[in-house]
Structure formats: structure tokens, C-alpha cells
């Protein structure tokens, strides 16, 4: 169910025209035949926002999609987008342990890396929404600056083990990679594996990580989608008090 909800959230975010500045539209909920007002606008720092209130269940889903994936990686740095996905959970001065911070408010989290985007997902009770927004705004503003060499070493080992277990030693994954490589010839951005190569990952430096964050993990390169039990005016006010303060 969580995966399905995440897919719906992502589709809502990506279906919106990138040029829209402030728009409201209505979609019909098949289960209730009631129209849900969707607001789509940008904060002053360029962050694209999609708000889709649904008051039937006291839960909210927060999705942040950064427009960066494996196709943005420079030569010799394959797997970097996925590595940085892991590093986004390393913690900041205000939130030293991201998993514990979310666990304390009963919120489930996950993340995925694709060829052209990286997604961060959180789902919890609507009462946790202010804390969720504050935490994610802090990560957007501070995570890249807070990463240390020890964080890079730990998460690089995690990704390398993930590669061994889920790609190199898995026949199904090997078959998928062979099919993908055949569909997208050498030189195509989708030809390379999202998880990258061991040699490139081992060569990544702390300066690489900090540069990646400064380039791609900025508000004007992201879409924030909020779906669930909330008042639109309250959500807008919370976004102004959190994400709107993150510099470009």
C-alpha cells in the first residue's frame, strides 16, 4: 500500500506543467465522486509545490522529488545519485539521526533513485505534518554541508554491499540489466546502471559529495507534493515558515 500511495504522489507531482506558477484544479476521487482541489504553485525560492488535501483519513504523505538521477552523473562518477540518496540519511546538527527523528513521531520514510529523479517519501498521521515539513526543510538546507568523511565511508560500504547482494549475485537483476543495456545503447544516459560501478563509487570524494549537494539539492530543482488530511491555508503557512527559508 505504501508503494502505491507513493506512486500516486509522484504522478501528481510530475503530471503538473513545470511552467505553472499558481494554479488550482479539481480531480475526481473515484471512491467518493467528490472533487479534490489541487493547488500548484512555487515558493519565492523556486520550490514547486503541489497540495492535494483529502480529509477522509487522518494521514499525510509527503514526497520530495529532486530533478537529479544517474543521467546527471559526470564521467567517472556513476552511482553518485544513488550514493547521495543514502547520504541524505546521515543526519544534520539539528537532526543527528534521521531515522530516529522520524520514528519518534511515528512517520515511515523511504527513498528511491531513478535515471532522472531522486525521491524522498514520508507518511504519517496528519498531526505529525509540521514536524515532517520542518525536518525535510532542514535536510534540504543543511544535509550536504553536514556530511563528513566518516558518513561517506559508511554509506559507500552500504551501497557496495547492496550492489553485491541485489545486482551482482542476483540472476533476475542481471537479466534486467542485460535487457536495459540492449534497449539503451552505449552513450545513452539510461545505458548505465543507477547503482553505478564499484570503481567509480570507491573513487568518490567528500568534495564530490558537497559539490553534488550544492548543484542539485536546491529548492528550485525540486517538487514537493503533500497529500492527505490537512488544511491548505495551514499547509501554505507551514511551508512559508520552513521550506521558503531555504536559499536557492
Q: Cite the active site residues.
A: 85
Give CA separation, 1 vs 27, 34, 110, in Å.
21, 22, 13
**Rounded distance, CA 51 to CA 41, Å?**
9
Helix H, strand E, coil C: the string for the chain is CHHHHHHHHHHHHHHCCCCCCEEEEEEECCCCCCEEEEEEEECCCCCEEEEEECCCCCEEEEEEEECCCHHHCCCCCCCHHHHHHHHCCCCCCCCCCHHHHHHHCCCEEEEEECCCCEEEEEEEEHHHHHHHHHHHHHHHHHHHHHCCHHHHHHHHHHHHHHHHHHHHCCHHHHHHHHHHHHHCCCCCCCCCCCCCCHHHHHHCCHHHHHHHHHHHCCHHHEEEEEEECCCHHHHHHHHHHCHHHCCC
**Rounded distance, CA 75 to CA 77, Å?**
6
Amino acid at each position: 500500500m505504501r508503494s502505491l500511495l507513493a506512486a500516486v504522489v509522484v504522478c501528481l507531482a510530475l503530471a503538473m506543467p513545470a511552467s505553472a506558477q499558481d494554479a488550482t484544479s479539481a480531480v475526481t476521487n473515484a471512491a467518493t465522486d467528490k472533487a479534490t482541489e489541487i493547488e500548484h504553485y512555487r515558493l519565492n525560492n523556486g520550490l514547486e509545490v503541489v497540495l492535494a488535501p483529502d480529509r477522509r483519513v487522518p494521514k499525510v504523505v509527503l514526497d520530495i522529488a529532486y530533478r537529479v538521477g544517474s543521467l546527471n552523473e559526470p564521467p567517472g562518477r556513476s552511482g553518485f545519485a544513488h550514493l547521495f540518496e543514502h547520504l541524505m540519511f546521515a543526519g544534520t546538527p539539528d537532526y543527528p539521526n534521521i531515522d530516529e527523528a522520524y520514528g519518534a513521531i511515528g512517520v515511515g520514510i523511504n527513498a528511491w533513485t531513478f535515471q532522472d529523479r531522486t525521491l524522498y517519501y514520508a507518511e504519517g498521521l496528519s498531526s505529525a505534518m509540521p514536524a515532517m515539513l520542518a525536518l525535510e526543510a532542514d535536510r534540504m538546507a543543511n544535509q550536504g554541508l553536514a556530511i563528513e568523511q566518516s558518513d561517506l565511508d559508511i554509506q559507500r560500504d552500504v551501497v557496495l554491499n547492496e550492489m553485491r547482494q541485489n545486482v551482482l549475485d542476483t540472476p533476475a537483476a542481471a537479466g534486467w540489466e542485460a535487457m536495459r543495456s540492449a534497449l539503451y545503447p552505449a552513450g545513452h544516459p539510461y545505458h548505465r546502471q543507477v547503482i553505478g560501478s564499484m570503481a567509480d563509487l570507491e573513487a568518490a570524494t567528500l568534495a564530490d559529495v558537497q559539490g553534488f549537494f550544492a548543484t542539485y539539492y536546491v529548492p528550485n530543482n525540486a517538487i514537493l507534493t503533500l497529500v492527505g488530511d490537512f488544511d491548505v491555508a495551514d499547509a501554505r503557512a507551514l511551508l512559508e515558515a520552513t521550506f521558503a527559508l531555504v536559499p536557492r
